[in-house]
């Protein structure tokens, strides 16, 4: 791949596994130095970094459970130390060119089955964490940079069983549009990518159940599950020079799930 991101720095939250790992590897393969954030699975994050380095890329891990008190400050201090070391700027004038807010997730529940803990955790992962991290990095994000928020097709569905998750992802997309207006004067684009059912660890309960898998495939226009690398390709397109004139958009990356 052409090194279109050479000299750029990127942070991918939740970058140790699944879609996050695929995105980290894709950005690194295009030349970016990638900070692979993880909450608790150190082994997975280190494995991602090893894979990137084995392919000739540059990456490092940064541990922080984004959304918890004091964690974002710890993350920024780690980024300061690592980017300063890797870019050779002793004055600490580091910046982020590409921020991928990938952390998220949530359990299934109807409104009656949802409890306060489920609601708070879902919004903390999907909304509070990305909001607070972006706010903390606001002045570190370089002019003409990219912010890419990972949403979900759940934001547009009317499935009563994922009501809290749908609300949270809809908030992510509203955040994307407003932030795009806020940061547009600096040439920073802000977009969201909205995956559908994607093969991988988080969806094993679906892909390995023939009945559930058939239900997804039959409701997907392209008649299959997506692959993490396919989501990473879209993120890369938005992060690369190709995405310079796209902002405030949500890109549906579901293969046409429940059109």
Beta bridge partners of 101: 149
Contacts of 57 (CB under 8 A, 6+ apart): 25, 28, 29, 31, 34
What are φ and ψ of residue 60, in 5° steps? -155, 160
Query: Residue 142, Cβ neighbours under 10 Å: how many?
Result: 17
The burial class, CB within 10 Å (0-12 / 13-18 / 19+), for 249 is middle
Nearest to 19 by CA among 220, 224, 211, 225: 225
Per residue in 23-50, is it b (16+ CB within 10 Å) or e — as a string? bbbbbbbbbbbbbbbbbeeeebbebbbe
Residues identified as active-site: 165
Q: Under a CB-based contact definition with an 8 Å cutoff, are residues 179 and 222 in contact? A: no
């Amino acid at each position: 791949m052409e090194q279109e991101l050479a000299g750029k720095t990127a942070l991918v939250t939740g970058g140790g596994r699944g879609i996050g790992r695929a995105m980290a590897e894709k950005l690194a393969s295009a030349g970016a130095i990638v900070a692979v954030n993880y909450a608790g699975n150190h082994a997975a994050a280190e494995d991602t970094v090893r894979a990137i380095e084995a392919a000739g890329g540059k990456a490092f891990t940064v541990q922080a459970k984004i959304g918890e008190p004091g964690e974002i400050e710890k993350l920024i201090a780690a980024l300061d130390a690592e980017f300063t070391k890797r870019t050779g700027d002793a004055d600490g004038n580091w910046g982020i060119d590409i921020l991928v807010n990938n952390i998220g997730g949530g359990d299934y529940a109807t409104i009656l089955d949802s409890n306060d803990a489920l609601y708070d955790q879902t919004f903390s992962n999907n909304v509070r964490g990305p909001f607070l991290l972006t706010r903390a990095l606001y002045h570190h994000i370089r002019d003409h940079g990219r912010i890419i928020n990972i949403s979900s097709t759940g934001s547009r569905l009317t499935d009563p069983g994922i009501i809290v998750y749908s609300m949270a992802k809809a908030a992510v997309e509203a955040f994307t549009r407003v932030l795009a207006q806020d940061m547009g004067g600096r040439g920073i684009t802000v977009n969201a990518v909205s995956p559908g059912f994607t093969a991988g660890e988080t969806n094993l309960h679906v892909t390995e159940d023939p009945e559930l898998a058939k239900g997804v495939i039959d409701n997907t226009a392209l008649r299959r599950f997506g692959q993490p690398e396919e989501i990473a390709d879209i993120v890369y397109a938005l992060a690369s020079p190709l995405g310079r004139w796209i902002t405030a958009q949500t890109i549906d990356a579901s293969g046409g799930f429940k059109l």
